Amino acid sequence: MIITPGSDLLYLTGYNAIPLERITALVIAPDAAPFMVVPRLEISTALASPFGDTGWDVHGWGENDDPYAIIRERIPSLNGAVLVDNHMWAERVLTIQKEFPQASIALAAPILAEIRMRKTPYELDALRDAAAAIDRVHARVAQVLRAGRTEADVARDISEMIIAEGHQKVDFVIVASGPNGASPHHEVSDRVIQLGDPVVVDIGGTMPSGYCSDCTRTYSVGDPGSAYRERYAALQLAQEKSTRAVSNGAISHDIDAAGRNELESHDLAQYFIHRTGHGIGLDTHEEPYIGIDNPTVIEENMVFSIEPGFYIDGVHGARIEDIVICTANGPESINKQTRDLVIIEH
Ligand code: ZN
Ligand code: ZN
């Protein structure tokens, strides 16, 4: 297995390496101790990471060395399957293929996802911290969201709050007002927020631990009207039903169906145009996914979002998103801010 900088390397070694044109790679082979090949100028950073404490070798390579020759020398029998991380640059994959013509290249993901999807107590706490940080941001959204401001203005303030509340990095800020709420991945625009607009606010960042937050709440600037309130109430019920369907042994598909069927009974299922959720950890989107026809069996310590929504083209939309841990006793929603429609009166 050859793993280059990214969340898999961070997960396996604790080394949060920057992807550079000079290759850094963790090499794991059945008949040798794991080792890293690292550009010589990165050695001290690599050794300062938790990998440095393992006693395994960090093999520096200089400007005139061939890092692939180092791997070949250390693992002369490299001719079976070579598993590479999902995010490896295509350039590297093609070079590996050329350097090791006997090897067949495949993705490491099926193996790594099996490990990464079951969180350790340390990871669960890191995700709870991330959720608490984004909750503190949602608690402050009403201070900056008002009629007359543009989505971009509001998003700028929210980005600052994401950092102020403990994240190291802002990953995304969606402020989707009025008809823009009907586009699930609308980010921001110069649209001026109007009185009576529902506003979907979906935000997330990465904590210093490397773990991610992701939480959606829907706000309304003034009264959105009775039709919207009714749809929102149905969505809230759907989100609760999917959350309640989470248990050790539940099937991903059934968790999705619990909410989708609720929306169906309110004639809203046709407007719920995406899967119910995604796993979260060092990546915002990772295994397990929660969706239609997904046979994944959910187990204790898996963590994923439950985020149904409705999107009515040209009119409005809504989404409610919590990150949920599957515990031995059922679901634990780690986002605690109210899921009610938050009406902002200024
Ligand atoms: Zn999400
Ligand atoms: Zn989200």
pLDDT value of position 77: 75
Average pLDDT value over all residues in the chain: 96
The pLDDT tens digits of the residues spanning 202-227 come to 999 999 999 999 999 999 999 999 99
pTM (two decimals): 0.95
Q: Quote the ligand 1 centre to 321 CA distance (angstroms).
A: 7
Structure tokens at 240: 């609760």
Ligand closest in space to the Cα of 280:
1
Q: Quote the ligand 1 centre to 83 CA distance (angstroms).
A: 28
Q: What is 121-344's CATH superfamily? A: Creatinase/methionine aminopeptidase superfamily (3.90.230.10)
Question: What are the Cα distances from residue 180, in Å, to 45, 85, 114, 143, 232?
Answer: 44, 36, 37, 21, 16
Residue 155 CA to residue 126 CA, distance in Å, equals: 25
Ligand closest in space to the Cα of 215:
2
Helix axes 90-99, 67-74, angle to 10 degrees: 50
C-alpha torsion sign, points 256, 134, 178, 172: negative
Q: What angle do CA 280, 285, 289 make, to 5 degrees?
A: 85
Ligand closest in space to the Cα of 303:
1
In the predicted structure, residue 75 carries a pLDDT above the cut 90: no
Q: Quote the ligand 1 centre to 63 CA distance (angstroms).
A: 42
Q: Quote the ligand 2 centre to 167 CA distance (angstroms).
A: 16
Residue 171 and residue 205 in contact, taking contact as beta carbons nearer than 8 Å: yes
CATH of 2-116, picked from 2.60.40.10, 3.40.350.10, 3.40.50.300, 3.50.30.30, is: 3.40.350.10
pLDDT value of position 76: 80
In the predicted structure, residue 186 carries a pLDDT above the cut 90: no
Percent of the chain surpassing pLDDT 70: 100
Q: Quote the ligand 2 centre to 321 CA distance (angstroms).
A: 6
* Alpha-carbon radius of gyration of the chain: 23
Q: Quote the ligand 2 centre to 18 CA distance (angstroms).
A: 25
Residue 337 and residue 135 in contact, taking contact as beta carbons nearer than 8 Å: yes
Q: Quote the ligand 1 centre to 115 CA distance (angstroms).
A: 21
Ligand closest in space to the Cα of 279:
1
Closest by CA to 208, choosing from 165, 271, 150, 264, is 165
Q: Quote the ligand 1 centre to 305 CA distance (angstroms).
A: 6
Lowest mean pLDDT among 125-129, 184-188, 259-263, 316-320: 184-188
- Cα 159 to chain centroid, rounded: 17
Q: Quote the ligand 2 centre to 204 CA distance (angstroms).
A: 7
pLDDT value of position 14: 95
Partners of residue 36 on adjacent β-strands: 26, 58
Domain ranges of the chain: 2-116, 121-344
C-alpha torsion sign, points 251, 84, 25, 169: negative
Q: Quote the ligand 2 centre to 16 CA distance (angstroms).
A: 24
The pLDDT tens digits of the residues spanning 161-177 come to 999 999 999 999 999 99
Q: Quote the ligand 2 centre to 319 CA distance (angstroms).
A: 9
pLDDT value of position 28: 95
